[in-house]
């Protein structure tokens, strides 16, 4: 082997199997095994979903506080949030994440799941006097439109008053509206266990809830981009005066991502499920786009990929754990070691001289339905 290169490892979380920090460590260990002369820089990423708090705490420290809140099905769960320089950083998935369900998603859970625990976290941040609160959205089990969180804070109007002098920042890269065919229920409901009849039920419930938000808060948010994030939790946060920012862009600023990409010879990113939603601005797509603009080649390691080609426009060279292990079950059961193995295999074959960036395409790649199960959301 000739002299080493500089490798920036920047994955998002792998659903309920690995958070972004764990995924970065697994990839970094594998790459080092395959190319021991390379310099590997770990910079885990998030778009606001699971791992948001861990990524930020790794980047700049702060005090991680943990408390008991209401879980997605009403059970008590332990949830963490970050306090740094008077700013509270909350992660909705800590309180109502899909990974917190004790059984596979099903129609009953899809109907019952509540965002009440997010209200508990907001209350905790307010109680210590935080006047800036950042809420990361993604990876939720809920389709309640934020009603659970609203009830915890005394209702929509009361919550809007409580948060009136707070700079409420809604960090998400999901731009879906609350209602309709591209809304929270139709797009994300099936991932949370909703079958066709349950999707119809939840959409009717969401329509009524959207009307209630508008009547109670005097704000129409149903069609606002991002209102459908985290099962519609984005809707109430926006109605309470929140301002939406790109979760991946927010994390980029906090982790010095652009400087790390510019200094790299190759960028490795990844997530649990690579599909057409990835190309709509999720962390992996944003990292890849930044690398391409900097002229740095990208390798994507995913839990699974439903995209129909191995080299994906707008992303790069794609490798999946399901293909590597031969089954989704094995990819989920042993995600960390298998991700390390995959990274080592890719590293051993990778040729810096032959690597090239992938040109950005005008149109996103359509999702291939051949693999319908998920490794993460």
pLDDT exceeds cutoff 80 at 307: no
Residue 264: which residues within 8 A CB-CB, separation 6 or more? Answer: 6, 7, 8, 41, 291, 296
Q: 145 or 356: which carries more pLDDT confidence?
A: 145
pLDDT of residue 2: 52
pLDDT of residue 366: 33
Render pLDDT for 199-232 as a digit per residue (tens, 0 to 9).
999 999 999 999 999 999 999 999 999 999 999 9
Indicate the pTM of the whole model.
0.85
Q: How confident is the model at residue 376 (pLDDT cuts 50, 70, 90)?
A: very low
Q: How confident is the model at residue 365 (pLDDT cuts 50, 70, 90)?
A: very low
Q: How confident is the model at residue 3 (pLDDT cuts 50, 70, 90)?
A: low
Q: How confident is the model at residue 299 (pLDDT cuts 50, 70, 90)?
A: very high
Q: Is 15 left (phi over 0), alpha (psi -120 to 50) or beta?
A: left
d(CA 330, CA 322): 8
pLDDT exceeds cutoff 90 at 374: no
Could you state, in order of their start, the residue ranges of all structural domains in the chain?
6-45+260-349, 52-245
Mean pLDDT of 347-353: 91
pLDDT of residue 356: 60
Alpha-carbon Rg for the chain in angstroms:
20
Render pLDDT for 138-172 as a digit per residue (tens, 0 to 9).
999 999 999 999 999 999 999 999 999 999 999 99
Return the bridge partners of 273, or none. Answer: 304
Mean pLDDT of 286-290: 92
pLDDT exceeds cutoff 80 at 361: no
> Which CATH code fits 52-245?
3.90.1510.10
* DSSP states along 49-78: STTHHHHHHHHH--EEEEEEEE-TTS-EEE
Render pLDDT for 86-115 as a digit per residue (tens, 0 to 9).
999 999 999 999 999 999 999 999 999 999
Question: What are phi and psi for residue 97, nearest 5 degrees?
Answer: -70, 150
Tell me how far apart the terminal alpha carbons of the chain are, to the nearest angstrom. 38
The helix/strand/coil state of 202 is helix
6-45+260-349 has CATH 3.40.1370.10 classification: no
pLDDT of residue 278: 78
């Amino acid at each position: 082997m000739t002299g080493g290169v500089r490798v920036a490892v920047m994955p998002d979380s792998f659903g309920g199997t690995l958070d972004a920090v764990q995924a970065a460590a697994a990839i970094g260990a594998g790459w080092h095994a395959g190319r021991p002369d390379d310099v590997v820089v770990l910079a885990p990423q998030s778009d606001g979903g699971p791992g948001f708090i861990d990524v930020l705490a790794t980047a700049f420290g702060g005090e991680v506080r943990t408390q008991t809140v209401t879980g997605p099905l009403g059970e008590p769960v332990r949830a963490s949030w970050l306090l740094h320089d008077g700013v509270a950083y909350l992660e909705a998935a800590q309180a109502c994440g899909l990974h917190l369900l004790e059984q596979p998603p099903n129609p009953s859970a899809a109907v019952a799941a509540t965002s009440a625990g997010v209200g508990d976290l907001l209350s905790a941040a307010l109680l210590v006097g935080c006047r800036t609160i950042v809420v990361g959205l993604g990876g939720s089990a809920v389709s309640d439109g934020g009603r659970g969180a609203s009830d915890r804070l005394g209702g929509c109007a009361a919550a809007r008053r409580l948060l009136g002098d707070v700079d409420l920042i809604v960090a998400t890269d999901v731009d879906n509206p609350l209602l309709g065919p591209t809304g929270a229920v139709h797009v994300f409901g099936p991932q949370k266990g909703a079958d066709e009849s349950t999707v119809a039920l939840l959409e009717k419930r969401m329509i009524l809830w959207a009307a209630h938000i508008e009547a109670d808060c005097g704000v129409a948010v149903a069609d606002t981009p991002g209102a459908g994030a985290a099962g519609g939790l984005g809707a109430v946060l926006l109605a309470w005066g929140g301002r939406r920012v790109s979760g991946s862009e927010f994390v980029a600023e906090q982790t010095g991502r652009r400087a790390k990409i510019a200094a790299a010879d190759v960028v490795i990113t990844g997530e649990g499920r690579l599909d057409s939603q990835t190309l709509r601005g999720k962390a992996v797509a944003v990292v890849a786009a930044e690398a391409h603009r900097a002229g740095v080649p990208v390798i994507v390691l995913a839990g699974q990929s439903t995209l129909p080609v191995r080299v994906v426009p707008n992303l790069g060279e794609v490798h999946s754990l399901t293909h590597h292990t031969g089954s989704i079950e094995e990819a989920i059961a042993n995600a960390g070691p298998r991700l390390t193995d995959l990274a080592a295999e890719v590293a051993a074959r990778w040729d810096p001289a032959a690597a090239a960036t992938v040109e950005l395409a005008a149109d996103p790649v359509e999702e291939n339905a051949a693999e319908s199960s998920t490794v993460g959301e």
